Each structure stands twice: as structure tokens, then as C-alpha cells.
Structure 1
Amino acid sequence: MRGMNFQKLLVPVGAIVLLGLAWRSGGWGGVALAGGVIVMFLLLHFNRVMQVLKRAADRPIGYVASAVMLNAKLKKGATLMHVIAMTRALGELRSPKDEQPELYRWTDTGGSYVDAVFNSGKLQSWTLTRPEAEPDAASPSEEENPAA
């Protein structure tokens, strides 16, 4: 948890240091330039988040094209926003609301699903579950196949 607090403080402290250095080297003109860079960074980040959520809004909650491919692409420490961008769908929340850790599920059309555990927005673990293989009724048995 201590590392998470450090990460949350890193960006604002970095912005303040950047503004301080800009003031020292260029006065108000430097502050204006550094402020513009900071605002541009924030706008680009906001735009990316909006694009990810816009794409996810067009798909059913908890749907993914292939749970097996999602399982292969996941990496520990990935953010929830990154996973939503990969699946292009919001995950189905399976844990109580506003409690940590959070459990989300993405299911494909074949019935396979990935359960992903997020703690403070970072992927901790995940499991792929495939449906039980049913006996294939369409395949001919030895009695039905006279060529055997």
C-alpha cells in the first residue's frame, strides 16, 4: 500500500518541480510553457480514458471475443483501464461494490471466462475457466461407421 501512495504523489510533485524549474530558468514565460505542457499531458490522458470507455460502452458488460487470448495477454500489475482497453468491454463486477480486492469477469461466446482480481486498480491475479467438455454426440461411434 505504501508504494501506491508514492505513485499517487509522484505526478503532482513532478508537476510542481517542473513548474519550479521553469520559473527559475524562464520566469513567467517558463511557467506558462511548463503549464501548457502539463495541461496538454492531462488532456491527452483524459482523451485516452474517454476513448477506452466509449469503445467499451458499445459492448455488453463482461463480454470478450476470446477468454483464452485475454488470459494470454494479461500481465500482473496491469491497470483496470488497460484491461478494459484490451477487452473493449467493462468487466462484470463479481465482488461486493466498493470493497478491495475487486473481482471482475469477462466471458466469451464459448462459455470460457477469465476472473481477474484487482487491488487498488492493479491486476493481482487471474484465472481462466473453460466449460466442461461434453461428449461429442455428432462424432460417429465404431458401430455406426461401417467403413471401420
Structure 2
Amino acid sequence: MRAMNFQKLLVPVGAILLLGLAWRTGGWGGVALAGGAIVMFLLLHFNRAMQVLKRAAERPVGYVGSAVMLNAKLKPGATLMHVIAMTRALGELRSPKDEQPELYRWTDGGGSYVDAVFNGGKLQSWEMTRPETPLEEDNTPAN
């Protein structure tokens, strides 16, 4: 949990250090340039998040084209936003709202599904389940 808090502080501390360095090297002009770069960085990330959510809003919740492909592409530590971008759909929340860890499910047209567990917005584990198919009877003649 401490690593997550450290990561949340890393970007603001880095921005402050960048602004301080810009002040030392270029005065107010340097601060303006560094501030513009920071704002551009934030706008790019905001724009990407909006594009991902816009694409996801156009598909059914919890749907994925292929659960097998999703299972193959998942990696531990991936963010929920990254998984939503891969599936182009919001996952179906299967755990109580606002409780950690969160469990999301993506199901494909064949009934296979992937259950993904996110803790603090990072992928912790996942499991793919395929629907059970009835065993076909052996129609070979007995000798």
C-alpha cells in the first residue's frame, strides 16, 4: 500500500522539482515553459482517458470480442484504464461497490469470460472460464 502512495506523490513532486529547476535556469520564462509542458502532459493524459471511455461507452458493459485473447494479453500490474482500452468496454463490476479489491468480468459471445481482480486500480490476478460443453456420445458401431 505504501508503494501506491509513493506513486501518487511522484508526479506532483516531479512537477514541483521541474518548476524549481526551470526557475533557477530561466527565471519566469523557464517557469512558463515548464508550466506549459506540465499542462500539455496533463491534457494529453486527460484526452486519452476521454477517448478510452468514449469507445467503451459505445459497447455493452462487460462484453469483449474474445475472452481467450484478453486472457493472453493481460499482465499483472496493468491499470484498469489499460484493460478498458484493450477490451473497448467497461467491465461488469462483480464485487460490492467502492470496496477493494474490485472484481470485474468481461464475457465474449461464446460464453467464455475473464474475471479480473484489481486492487487500487492495478490488475492483481485474473482467471478465464470457458462454458462447459456436453460430451458428445460415441456413435461408432460396437464390434
Using the size of structure 1 for normalisation, the TM-score is: 0.93
Q: Does 1:41 align with 2:41?
A: yes
- Give the secondary-structure state (helix, strand or coil) at the position aligned to 2:75: coil
Partner of 1:146: none
- Cα offsets for 1:12-57 (capped at 9, x unmatched): 0000000000000000000000000000000000000000000000
Could you say which residue in structure 1 is the equivalent of 2:23? Answer: 23
Secondary structure in 2 matching 1:114: strand
1:142 corresponding residue in structure 2: 140
Q: For structure 1, which segment, 112-121 or 126-135, has the greater mean C-alpha deviation from structure 2 after superposition?
A: 126-135
Q: Percent identity?
A: 84
Find the counterpart in structure 2 of residue 124 from structure 1: 124
- C-alpha distance 59-136 of structure 1, shift in aligned 2 (>3 A): farther
Letter in 2 for 1:36: G
CA shift, 1:67, in A, is 0.4
Query: In the alignment, what sits opposite 1:62?
Result: 62
CA RMSD in angstroms comes to 1.1
Cα offset, 1:136, TM superposition: 4.3
Gaps of 5+ in 1: 144-148
Paired with 2:91 and 2:22, the residues of 1 have a C-alpha distance of: 42
Gaps of 5+ in 2: none
Supply the AA of the counterpart residue of 1:48.
R
Q: Which consecutive aligned stretches of 4+ in structure 1 deviate over 6 angstroms post-superposition?
A: none
Indicate the structure (1 or 2) with the bigger Cα radius of gyration: 1
The normalised TM-score by structure 2 is 0.96
Question: Quick check: 1:115 aligned with 2:115?
Answer: yes
TM-superposed deviation, 1:133: 1.4
Deviation at 1:135, TM superposition (A): 3.3
- Name the CA distance, whole Å, in 2 between partners of 1:65 and 1:136: 27
What is the CA–CA distance in structure 2 between the aligned matches of 1:87 and 1:128, rounded to whole Å?
Answer: 14
Q: Residue deviations 1:67-104, cap 9 Å, x none?
A: 01100000000000000000000000000000000000
Letter in 2 for 1:17: L
